[in-house]
Structure 1
Amino acid sequence: MPWLMKAEPDTRIVKGKDVKFSVDDFEEMGESPWDGVRSHEAKNIMKEKMKLGDKVLFYHSNCKTPGVYALAEISKEGYPDYTSWDPSHPYYDAKSDEASPTWYMVSVRFISRLQHPVTLSFIKSLVGKATPPGPISYIGAAGIKAIQSMALINRGRLSVQPVEQGAYEAIVALGQKGGFEEEVKTAKKKAPKEDKPAKTAAAKPEGDEPPPKKPKTEAKPKTEAKPNAEPKPKAVAPPPAGTRRSTRLAK
C-alpha cells in the first residue's frame, strides 16, 4: 500500500535544534530514519503496516505552499525510535525506554522529485468535480474520485497516512505531467484596471495657468545638535548548542 508522509521544510527550533526536513535535505541524505513521530496512530502505521518497498508521497507540511514534492519508498520496516530515549532530542519522551519502547519509526529512501509539485490548494480545488478539468483529463474520472477520498483532505492533520493506489497513481501522474500550474495562476489574476489619462501639462486646457506658488519662508537655522556618545554594541547571544539543519541529519 502507498503512503503519504509529512515533513516540515521550514526552520523551526525545538529545544535548541532545527527540526526542519525539506525535500532538499531528503535528496541530499538519500535515506533517512523517520524519527520524532509522536502520534500513536501514525506510530502504529509505521510499526505494523508499512512494508519494505511500499511507495511514499513525500509531503511538505506547515509551510507557505504545502504539497507533494517527491517520491520515496520504505527501505526498513518498523523499529524502535531511539530518539525518544535521548534527553537532548527535541521529541524526547521520558515515559519511553529501551526495554519497553513506546515509539517506532521506519527508514525511507528518496527516489525522485516531482517535476510539478502537487499542492494542497490544487488538490482541494478538485473537490466536488465529477470529471477532471481539460488540462489534467489524463487522470480520468476514477483518478479525481480517488484524490477526493484522500485522508489528506478528510483527515489533514495525520502526519503518516495511507493512500489508495488510485490516488497515488493520479498524484504521481500530476507531478510528472503537470498541466495544472497555468490554471492555478490564471485563477489568481485580477482583471486589468481601466487606464487613466496621464497627468501631464499637455492635458490642461490652454490659458488655464495654475496660480503662482507662494514663496517659501526661509527656514530658521537649526541649532547644531550635540553629537551623542557612540552607543555600546549589544552582546549577541551565541547560537543554541547542537543546532543543525535537521534532526535527521545526525550521523
Structure 2
Amino acid sequence: MPWLMKAEPDTRIVKGKDVKFSVDDFESMGESPWDGVRSHEAKNIMKEKMKLGDKVLFYHSNCKVPGVYALAEISKEGYPDSDSPTSSHPYYDAKSDESNPTWYMVSVRFIKRLEHPVTLSSVKSLVGKTAPPEPISYIGTAGLKAIQNMALINRGRLSVQPVEQEAYDAIVALGEKGGFEEDAKAPKKRTPKEDKDAGTNAVAADGDEKPAAKKAKTESKPKATKAEPKPKAAPKAAAPPPPSGTRRSTRLAK
C-alpha cells in the first residue's frame, strides 16, 4: 500500500538542533530513518502496516507551500526509535523505555523529485468537482474521486497517512505531467533598488528604459559647516549559525 509522509522543510530549532528535513536534504542523504514521530496512530502505521518496498509520497509540511515534492519507498520495516529515551534528543520521551519501546520508525529511500510538485492548494482545488479540469483530464474521473477521498484532505493533520493506489497513481501523474496551476516555485528574489542619484539608465523588468536620474548641478551654494558626527558604535558580532539537526521526520504537522 502507498503512503504519504510529512516532513518540515524549514528551519525550526528544538533543543538547539535544527529539525528541518527538506527534499534537498532527503535527496542528498538518499536514505533516512523516519524518527521523531510522536503520534500513536502514525507510530502504529510504521510499526505494523508499512512493508518493505511500499511507495511513499514525500510531503513538505508546515511551510508556505505544502505539497508532494518527491517519491520514495520504505527501505526498512518498523524498528524502535532508539533516540526517544535520549534526553538530548529534540523529541525525547521520558516515559520511553529501551527494553519496552513506545515509539517506532521505518527507514525511507529517496527515489526521485516530482517535476511539478503537487501542492496542497492544487489538490484542494479539485474538491467538489465532478470531472477533472481539461488540462489534467488525463487523471480521469476515477483519479479525481480518489484524490478527493485522500486523508490529506479529510484528515490533514496526520503526519503518516495511507494512500489508495488510484490516488497515488493520480498524484504521480500530476507530478510528472503537470497542467494544473503551479504555486510551488520559490518567489523571485527582488533586485536591489537602483540608486536614485545614479547618472546611468536602468532597464525596467518589462524592458522599458527608465529615465536617467537628473545630474547634480556643478555649481551650488556652499553649505553651512555641520557639526562633526559622533563616532558610530562598533557593530555587534554576528550570531553563530545553528547546529546541524538530526531529526528526519515530523509529528502532527499541518
The answer, yes or no, to whether TM exceeds 0.5 is yes
Amino acid at match of 1:38: R
Residue 224 (structure 1) aligned to one of 219, 223, 226: 226
1:17-166 equivalences under 5 Å are 17-166=17-166
In the TM superposition, what whole-angstrom CA distance separates every residue of 1:137-182 from its partner, at most 9, and x where no partner exists?
Answer: 1111000000000000001010000001110111011111111137
Q: CA RMSD in A?
A: 2.2
Could you say if the C-alpha distance between residues 234 and 146 of structure 1 is closer, same or farther in structure 2, counting changes exceeding 3 Å? same
1:94 CA displacement: 1.1
1:22 CA displacement: 0.6
CA distance in 2, matches of 1:181, 1:232: 49
Unaligned runs of 5+ in 2: 185-220, 250-254
Number of positions where the alignment pairs a residue of Structure 1 with one of Structure 2:
214
- The 3-state SS of whatever aligns with 1:170 is helix
8 Å contact from structure 2 (residues 147, 167) kept in 1: yes
Amino acid at match of 1:88: S
CA distance in 1, matches of 2:123, 2:15: 34
1:181-192 equivalences under 5 Å are 181=181
> Would you tell me which structure has more helix in proportion to its own residues?
1
CA distance in 2, matches of 1:55, 1:154: 21
Equivalence for 1:213: none
1:235 CA displacement: 4.5
- The 3-state SS of whatever aligns with 1:83 is coil
- The 3-state SS of whatever aligns with 2:84 is helix
- The 3-state SS of whatever aligns with 1:63 is coil
In the TM superposition, what whole-angstrom CA distance separates every residue of 1:17-50 from its partner, at most 9, and x where no partner exists?
Answer: 1111011110111100000011111001101111
Could you say if the C-alpha distance between residues 128 and 38 of structure 1 is closer, same or farther in structure 2, counting changes exceeding 3 Å? same
1:248 CA displacement: 3.9
Could you say if the C-alpha distance between residues 69 and 239 of structure 1 is closer, same or farther in structure 2, counting changes exceeding 3 Å? closer
CA distance in 2, matches of 1:165, 1:235: 54
What TM-score, normalized by structure 1, do the two folds share?
0.79
1:10 CA displacement: 0.9
8 Å contact from structure 2 (residues 36, 248) kept in 1: no
Equivalence for 2:236: 234
Amino acid at match of 2:142: A
Higher relative contact order (CA 8 A, sep 6+): 2
1:236 CA displacement: 4.5
CA distance in 1, matches of 2:248, 2:68: 20
CA distance in 1, matches of 2:4, 2:19: 19
Equivalence for 1:190: none
Amino acid at match of 1:55: K
Could you say if the C-alpha distance between residues 236 and 160 of structure 1 is closer, same or farther in structure 2, counting changes exceeding 3 Å? same
- The 3-state SS of whatever aligns with 1:142 is helix
CA distance in 2, matches of 1:31, 1:128: 37
Moved segments of 4+, more than 2 Å: 221-227, 232-240, 245-249
1:246 CA displacement: 4.7
CA distance in 1, matches of 2:235, 2:180: 52
Unaligned runs of 5+ in 1: 186-218
Equivalence for 2:204: none
Identical-pair percentage: 81
CA distance in 2, matches of 1:85, 1:162: 28
Amino acid at match of 2:41: E
In the TM superposition, what whole-angstrom CA distance separates every residue of 1:188-217 from its partner, at most 9, and x where no partner exists?
Answer: xxxxxxxxxxxxxxxxxxxxxxxxxxxxxx
CA distance in 1, matches of 2:104, 2:245: 23
- The 3-state SS of whatever aligns with 2:142 is helix
